[in-house]
Structure 1
């Protein structure tokens, strides 16, 4: 049951020039939405952890031991491959010309891996031998 004073249009308390209602704390719909979002943002703010004052240092000995980043190159022709390199199951990276196993004399045994995969997927099922009755 709504009373006449609940639907009565009042000037917005936000000062935007529109009219508000008592249900929205005398705010228009735009100002009310903005105030609700501000309240939610205030609740979500959490104190940020203070950054530690300890600065990690690396010794010059460790920096000298680290290897420089090497560019990816084809194992066969040593051409730079970058992002377009093809990785093989043998563990090496190849260019477009040498990506097939026949082209780079791959050491990975595809036949054996296929047999093992089929063996796992299709287990051998044999019926037990019949026991003959002695009469």
Structure 2
């Protein structure tokens, strides 16, 4: 497997192609997120985010902070011991409204950001470069 780099991901600048999540049909994602999932063998990351969107903890957080209901930011941070943390925030300085511990991952980057925004009741997951 070719090593995935952030420079490769930054080449994605947005287009109109979308892929629908198989389980949470209200979640779609961009070619950049699809490329990330394929190259990093990390479709589980899309699944993890999609499983939180629309969940009770998500809806509770959105009821307390309107920003979450239209856009929020996910970060996967990989730790040296092979564990990781997936966290969602309303904005950079805010504390996460969702945090999930990943007990093991071989994800090839130290961290990755995936943004989520809603349009016509569909949540689009995309890379920051695709904004």
Does the pair score TM above 0.5? no
Structure with the largest fraction of strand = 2
**TM norm structure 2:** 0.18
- Computing the radius of gyration over CA atoms, which structure comes out larger, 1 or 2? 1
Relative contact order (C-alpha < 8 Å, sep 6+): which is higher?
2
**TM norm structure 1:** 0.18
